[in-house]
Structure 1
């Protein structure tokens, strides 16, 4: 007679805990705060014409040969069918995470991009982007929560089913992670963000703010 043995998550290697508390410098600069309000309206209405006016002519958006406003609009399919472009959602998800003003005066979103510690490999670590986010025993919202994390760095763990743990009920693609305390578990991908995911840089030129960088990867 054979018995089904429940899967056991073996401990993972602990590492130094690091919390990147949310900040948002966008309100401390009056002109940028006014620009941000206008920019959010552009995103919500998917107004391509208004968007073009705030894109820098030399915008950097690729590690390849493409550059400049014309290539940017083409790459994000904003030329022919702007309403169907994924740009609007990608940008909104990026800037809702908050801005940090860097030493050059640029406003950068998400807030943690330039402060993500260099001793954490950006290819294998995420930031938990939420408060009291559940880390579960299994890849389902019905599973027991083993701990909760708020804005902490976690490490991705090897998972044979990575990218295929989609649960329709919770709209989650469950990612296997390791907490700083060495506890393995699963977190809904909507609450994880890689430092190499999309980031946006805005720069003030001749009294006007422009989107100068919008890029993903390394």
Structure 2
């Protein structure tokens, strides 16, 4: 459940000055030592590419996409990506797809997170920000860093405009092959920022949930709106 309302008065196509807000990360995992231990173990097992441990740690109804049934069987397929499950034209990509999934899982679970009102632990922390209905969520990104350079041109050598920390920004045309992305701040300022600091607001998020028996499980790992 999202907890913070983000106020943005405009669409990027018709910018109107709005107050900028910063959302510094506060990781709440240490509020429950059993959760902190479980997450640390998960990350160790992910680094070891331990499929069996991850599948055993999943909820019976783990949510993995907005269009499939989910569950541990699907989780296993995502973690292993058997080539024969792909269309023939994509089978050569199986190894890259598998590694990308593991990397996304590790990156997401490594982020600061928060407890929602149901006691579920969600990562990353920007997921608790509620975007306005007028904003296309696929153009919204969170600056994952402190004092990140905003430059006047798409280059490390570009003149520094200002330093940005933990803000929601708009990327009207994200180009993954480009190292620097053109962004809008919510006050109308524009510039270029390195893609490594931009986290899509519809990117991967994960939820860890304590079962009735007291064991922590991974119950959501999904991307998209």
Please say if 1:128 is aligned against 2:143: yes
Provide the residue aligned with 2:215 in structure 1: 208
Provide the residue aligned with 1:182 in structure 2: 188
Query: What do residues 24-77 of structure 1 show as CA deviations (whole Å, max 9, x unaligned)?
Result: 011111110110111110111111111111111211111113421102221343
Provide the residue aligned with 1:163 in structure 2: 175
Please say if 1:43 is aligned against 2:50: no
Q: Distance in 2 between matches of 1:28 and 1:120?
A: 35
Q: Distance in 2 between matches of 1:50 and 1:101?
A: 24
The farther-off stretch of 72-81 and 121-130 is 72-81
The alpha carbon displacement at 1:90 in A equals: 0.2
- Structure 1 segments (4+ residues) deviating >4 Å: 78-84
Whether the 8 Å contact between 2:123 and 2:206 is mirrored in structure 1 is yes
Structure-to-structure mapping, 1:84-99, within 5 angstroms: 84-99=98-113
Q: Distance in 1 between matches of 2:112 and 2:81?
A: 25
**Structure 1 residues 58 and 88 mapped into 2: Cα distance closer, same or farther (>3 Å)?**
same
Q: Identify which of 77, 80, 89 aligns with 1:77.
A: 80
- Structure 2 residue runs without a partner (length 5+): 1-14, 84-93
Higher share of residues assigned helix? 2
Whether the 8 Å contact between 2:79 and 2:102 is mirrored in structure 1 is no
Computing the radius of gyration from Cα coordinates, the structure with the larger value is 1
Whether the 8 Å contact between 2:59 and 2:217 is mirrored in structure 1 is yes
SS of the equivalent of 1:92 reads helix
Structure-to-structure mapping, 1:89-128, within 5 angstroms: 89-118=103-132, 121=135, 122-128=137-143
SS of the equivalent of 2:128 reads coil
